[in-house]
Every structure is written in C-alpha cells, then in structure tokens.
Chains A and B, each alone.
Chain A
C-alpha cells in the first residue's frame, strides 16, 4: 500500500512538472508575445523593446525557465500579466470552479447512468429498455460542445435557467450550475448506462445468479445486491478515463456557457501569450488528472478486491 502511494506521488509530481514546463516553454516559443497582446502589432519598436524588458521577455528562455522553476518549487507561480494578479490565486479560483462543475456532472452522470444501466441490463428487451438504449445512443453521439449549445438554446428559449457566468452566493451558483452541469453530465451518463447495462447483462447470465434465482432469492435483491457487486467493475475501471474526458468536456462546456473555469482561463492565457498563467493552468489541470487517477484506482479497489493485491 505504501509502495503504491509512493509510486502514485512520484507519478503525480512528474506529471505536474512535465506538463507545466512543457506548456511554459511552448507558450514562450510561440510566435508573438505578450507585448503584442498589450500594445497591438503596430506599436513603435522602442515601445515594444521597453515593454519586453519590463516583462523580462528579452531574457533567454533558459534563464526565464530556471527562474520560474526556482520560484515554483516554493509554490510561487509568478504573476499573470493579463490579469495583473498572482497566478496561484487566479488559478486556484478558476480550478475550483472547474472542479465544482466536473464533480457535479460526474455525480449526476453516475446517479442517472448507473441505475438505468442496471435496469436495462437486467431485463429482457422491452419498450422501456429500448427507449433508454436509444436515448443513450443519441446522447453518446452528442459531445459536450453540442449538448451545451443545446442546453443554452433551451435555457434561453424557456427562460427556466440562467445562462452565462456563475453568480456569487451558493444558491445562485447552484442555479447557474444547472445548464453547464447537465450539458457535461448527459454524454457521460449515457456512457455509464451502456457500460453498466453490458456488464449487468453478462453477470445476470452467470450460473451463480441462476442458482440464486432457483433458491428463491427475490429478484430485486439479486439484481441490486448480488449481481450488482460483480457488475460494478467495468464502470469503476472506466472512471480513470472519465477524468480526462470530464476535463476535455468541461473545456467546451465552459466556453459555450461562459462558466469561469480553468478551460476559459487557459484559452485566454494562450491567446495573450501570458506564459506564467499558461504554465499555472497546465499545472492545475495535471493535478486534476493525478487526483483523478488516484480516485479511480481507489474506486476500482473498492469494488474489486483482486486489484488491491497489486
């Protein structure tokens, strides 16, 4: 267990380090720099030189990178030029927003997708299972970019839910969360439903389930307790993958619904060539990935004792 944890921590540190370094260097090497974003491309050469010196852009990349590393190990990630605030506080706020969105969506997707999958997987084909199955297929073909456009259209037409931004008080935030969270949750719920239905159908065909039926164990108890235990594994195994698609999906959702999360910030930072902010966003994103893999490993270990050995 300890060896496992140590391995995980090393992996996470390496991931955060590599991803943030790579994006810092890439953003720094990209043509154009923050002075273009600040002064426009018709500024006088002297003005550009002066501003470049002011932001340290005239120094070699290697120097700048070494400086950044030296500060970053002390959790000082520099200042965002675009927002003129410390990168750490800015990224922390936005990352929290993305986390709220992603966790809500994941919870919603699990609460919708799993029970429906258990239902459709444990029954013979009927009208209801066909309807759920069809809905899942449709939703699987709707990536978050499209679901969020659709949700925004519905919300704007009906006026039932607010669109854009996230409000300030917690009740208000929850209210603003509906559109982006549903948009992000729907495709994932469909994925869970399909996976769970398949796993369930396989388990229900097993001899031990038949034996349980033969001994007169009530159907609901078999489905929701005995068979479910074995059938949760495939869905738990995919949780690790879902973290990546949650982040990818939340990028599109944040852009379309104006949710002030990490994705929008990263896009703004990249476009303005705000290199420290780019690195900060990338670091935060990779922390999510590392945490996600940890949580998904834990989830898998919880439903499948065999994986605990390794």
Chain B
C-alpha cells in the first residue's frame, strides 16, 4: 500500500515537472472546431482487426447543437512520437489533434491542461504548506521556549483560529482583496492566506514538544555550556520536533490542494486562462455540462489520486489520516 502511495505521488510529480514535454498541447491552445469534444483514445486494432502502431480516429462533428462528435472510422491518424519537442502528438494537429482527455467548453485539451494544472495546484499547495510549517514552527518554538505571556497570547490566538472552519477563514481573507486578480497575485495571496491559516496546526504541536524538551538534560547541558537561546532553539530543540513537522507538512499539502480547488471552483481562485485543477473543475460546475461531458471531471480524479497517495504514505508512517480530514477539507 505504501508503494502504491509513493507511486501515485511520483506520477503526480512527473506529470507536473514533465508537463511541457508530456502534454501534447499548450494549456491555452484553442481548437475552435472541437468544443466539448470527447477524448480521442489511441487504438492499436482497426475495424478490420488488423494491428497497427498506436493511432487515433479523427473526430467528426455530427450535431452542432448538441456538440456531439463521432469518430471518423475511415481514416487512421498514426501518432507521431518525439516530434515538435513533445512526447507524443498527432501529425495533423490542426485538423485532428490528440485529445487524450477530451476538450473543454473553449476547445482546449483537457489532458494537457491537467498536466499543466498539476504544476499550478501542486506547487501552490507545496509552497503554502512549507510556509505554514515554517511560520508554525517559528511561532510554536517561540511560544514553547519563551513561555509566559508570549506563550499565552500566541496559543489563545491559535486556539481561536483552530476553532473556526478553515475554509470560511480562507474565504473571508480572500474576499478582502479585489475579486479579480492576476494569476501571479492569486498564487501569492493563496500561499499567504493558507500559510497563516495552516500555521496554528503546526504551532500547537511544536510548542508542546519544545516545552517538554527544554526541561531535558541535553538542553540544560547545552545551555550551561554557553549555547545562546537562538542556538539552543534552532540547533537542539526544533530538530527534536522535526519528525512532527514533516508529518504536519505532509498533512497540510492535501488540505491545501483541496482549498485551492474549492476557491477556484467558486471563482475566487485562479482565473480562467490559467490551468489549475480547481479552475478546471469550475468549468464543470453546471449539471448539464457534468453529465454530457464527464471528462471535464478528470481534475477531480487527479485530486483524489494525489490525496490518496499522501494518505497512504502517511498511514504507513503510522499517522492516522483522520486528522487531515478533520482539520481542513472543504474540503478539507
């Protein structure tokens, strides 16, 4: 099970890092004639039962009103490998492109957007989780080390944030700014908000660990050997909490992936031309679209697989996946 978890995470990492090569198209490449086209799955056997190298059938519009397409079984388009800097694509991109995940309502390749979306969604979640653990460790370490009034104040504030449903805090903080933002601004804003909202989860545990470790002989010894407060905290006490911090980091990532998806789904996350998993789900937000063009739900599958991968890895490490869902999810 642990292997499966790591395999899923590795696949996600490869998809994100390799997107420019693995994706047949750019995320903002439009095929105007192929709006809401279904996936063109590669075949190896043709209708006559003969084997060929992987090929696709070009799509033919049969009903413009219902946006229904059919495969044109009379011609085979053999796939072109390693051409144009892409792993695989169709030799005739203009007329019969390779749409492994179908096309969205604007005629963009869903599969390519999924790969590029992995970059946006995963990097945002990862950076935000790093920010939250950094901020949380600093605040928790400070509270646990200094104690007294600082400790009380910091912990009261974090208790207060913890009791609120996280997605509402994110929502209110996001809505504080202009409703329409540039993609880069959205990225930075979401990272900042999620870091602040996620920090208390880390801070509480780090504080408890630092507080108890500070009493132990090795810490007292380091102190009496002349180690400064900062050195003691950074070199001796925080490393004692490192296992906990890594686990927290791993638990925040899925929560933040879901948070991005939720915010983009409601239209307060990444704006349209940007490919992110949440922004792609936004395109599937109407029931008719969902039923007629189910391939638009593929980002949901991607989110599920990444979160499952993280859960499997965590579970094998002896961490209860329960805390993830209870702490965030809207998810988280």
Cα separation A191 to B327 with both chains bound (whole Å): 12
Query: Closest approach, in angstroms, between the C-beta of B96 and any C-beta of chain A?
Result: 29
Residues 194-234 of chain A: 1 if any B CB is under 8 Å from the residue's CB, otherwise 0?
11001000000000000000000000000000000000000
Cα separation A233 to B1 with both chains bound (whole Å): 29
Name the A residues within 8 Å of B294 (CB-CB).
Answer: 153
Q: Is B219 an interface residue (CB 8 A)?
A: no
Q: What DSSP secondary structure best describes chain A's contact surface?
A: helix
* Residue in contact with A140 in the complex, picked from B171, B266, B290, B325, CB distance below 8 Å: B325
| Contact A143 B330, beta carbon cutoff 8 Å | yes
Nearest CB in chain A to that of B257: its residue: A143
| Contact B329 A245, beta carbon cutoff 8 Å | yes
Nearest CB in chain B to that of A144: its residue: B331
Residues 8-40 of chain A: 1 if any B CB is under 8 Å from the residue's CB, otherwise 0?
000000010011001100110111100000000
* Residue in contact with A244 in the complex, picked from B163, B287, B324, CB distance below 8 Å: B163
Q: Is A307 an interface residue (CB 8 A)?
A: no
| Contact B172 A141, beta carbon cutoff 8 Å | no
Q: Is A61 an interface residue (CB 8 A)?
A: no
* Residue in contact with A270 in the complex, picked from B172, B308, B312, B325, CB distance below 8 Å: B172
Name the B residues within 8 Å of A278 (CB-CB).
Answer: 172
Name the B residues within 8 Å of A174 (CB-CB).
Answer: none
Name the B residues within 8 Å of A58 (CB-CB).
Answer: none
For A164, A194, A248, A271, the residue with the greatest tally of chain B CB atoms inside 10 Å of its CB is: A248
Name the A residues within 8 Å of B168 (CB-CB).
Answer: 247-248, 251, 266, 282, 285
Cα separation A293 to B311 with both chains bound (whole Å): 27
Name the B residues within 8 Å of A140 (CB-CB).
Answer: 311, 321-322, 324-325
Name the B residues within 8 Å of A286 (CB-CB).
Answer: 164
* Residue in contact with A143 in the complex, picked from B178, B287, B332, CB distance below 8 Å: B332
Name the B residues within 8 Å of A150 (CB-CB).
Answer: 300
Give the size range of B's interface with the partner: 35 or more
Query: Closest approach, in angstroms, between the C-beta of A257 and any C-beta of chain B?
Result: 9
Q: Is A132 an interface residue (CB 8 A)?
A: no
Residues 4-24 of chain B: 1 if any A CB is under 8 Å from the residue's CB, otherwise 0?
000000000000000000000
| Contact A153 B290, beta carbon cutoff 8 Å | yes
Known contacts A149-B281, A150-B300, A270-B175: A194-B322 contact under CB 8 Å = yes
| Contact B331 A252, beta carbon cutoff 8 Å | yes
Q: Is A241 an interface residue (CB 8 A)?
A: yes
Name the B residues within 8 Å of A141 (CB-CB).
Answer: 254, 304, 307-308, 311, 321
| Contact A26 B163, beta carbon cutoff 8 Å | no
Q: Is B129 an interface residue (CB 8 A)?
A: no
| Contact A143 B290, beta carbon cutoff 8 Å | no
Name the A residues within 8 Å of B175 (CB-CB).
Answer: 26-27, 30, 270-271
Q: Is A138 an interface residue (CB 8 A)?
A: yes
Known contacts A145-B262, A248-B329: A19-B297 contact under CB 8 Å = no
| Contact B328 A31, beta carbon cutoff 8 Å | no
| Contact B165 A156, beta carbon cutoff 8 Å | no
Give the size range of A's interface with the partner: 35 or more
Cα separation A22 to B291 with both chains bound (whole Å): 41
Query: Closest approach, in angstroms, between the C-beta of B180 and any C-beta of chain A?
Result: 10
| Contact B321 A238, beta carbon cutoff 8 Å | no
Name the B residues within 8 Å of A293 (CB-CB).
Answer: 163
Residues 143-172 of chain A: 1 if any B CB is under 8 Å from the residue's CB, otherwise 0?
111100110110011000001100000000
| Contact B164 A19, beta carbon cutoff 8 Å | yes
| Contact B176 A255, beta carbon cutoff 8 Å | no
Cα separation A198 to B330 with both chains bound (whole Å): 25
Q: Is A300 an interface residue (CB 8 A)?
A: no
Query: Closest approach, in angstroms, between the C-beta of B190 and any C-beta of chain A?
Result: 16
Residues 280-310 of chain A: 1 if any B CB is under 8 Å from the residue's CB, otherwise 0?
0010011001000100000000000000000
Query: Closest approach, in angstroms, between the C-beta of B297 and any C-beta of chain A?
Result: 6
Name the B residues within 8 Å of A145 (CB-CB).
Answer: 258, 261-262, 265, 281, 330-331
Query: Closest approach, in angstroms, between the C-beta of A283 and any C-beta of chain B?
Result: 12
Q: Is B167 an interface residue (CB 8 A)?
A: yes
Q: Is B153 an interface residue (CB 8 A)?
A: no
Cα separation A15 to B254 with both chains bound (whole Å): 28
The residues in B between 236 and 274 inclusive whose CB is less than 8 angstroms from any CB of A are 254, 258, 261-262, 265-266
Nearest CB in chain B to that of A187: its residue: B325
Q: Is A173 an interface residue (CB 8 A)?
A: no
| Contact B171 A146, beta carbon cutoff 8 Å | no
| Contact A143 B258, beta carbon cutoff 8 Å | yes
| Contact B322 A144, beta carbon cutoff 8 Å | no
Q: Is A103 an interface residue (CB 8 A)?
A: no
Besides A143-B330, A187-B325, 18 more A-B contacts (Cβ < 8 Å) are A15-B163, A138-B308, A140-B325, A142-B307, A144-B330, A146-B303, A149-B281, A150-B300, A187-B329, A190-B325, A194-B321, A195-B322, A198-B320, A244-B166, A245-B327, A248-B331, A267-B171, A285-B165
**A interface list, Cβ under 8 A from B:** 15, 18-19, 22-23, 26-27, 29-32, 137-138, 140-146, 149-150, 152-153, 156-157, 163-164, 187-188, 190-191, 194-195, 198, 238, 241-242, 244-245, 247-249, 251-252, 255-256, 266-267, 270-271, 278, 282, 285-286, 289, 293
Subset of 27 A-B contacts with CB under 8 Å: A26-B175, A29-B176, A30-B175, A30-B177, A31-B177, A31-B178, A140-B321, A140-B325, A141-B304, A143-B258, A152-B290, A194-B321, A195-B322, A198-B320, A238-B326, A245-B328, A245-B331, A248-B166, A248-B168, A248-B328, A248-B332, A251-B171, A252-B262, A278-B172, A282-B168, A289-B165, A293-B163
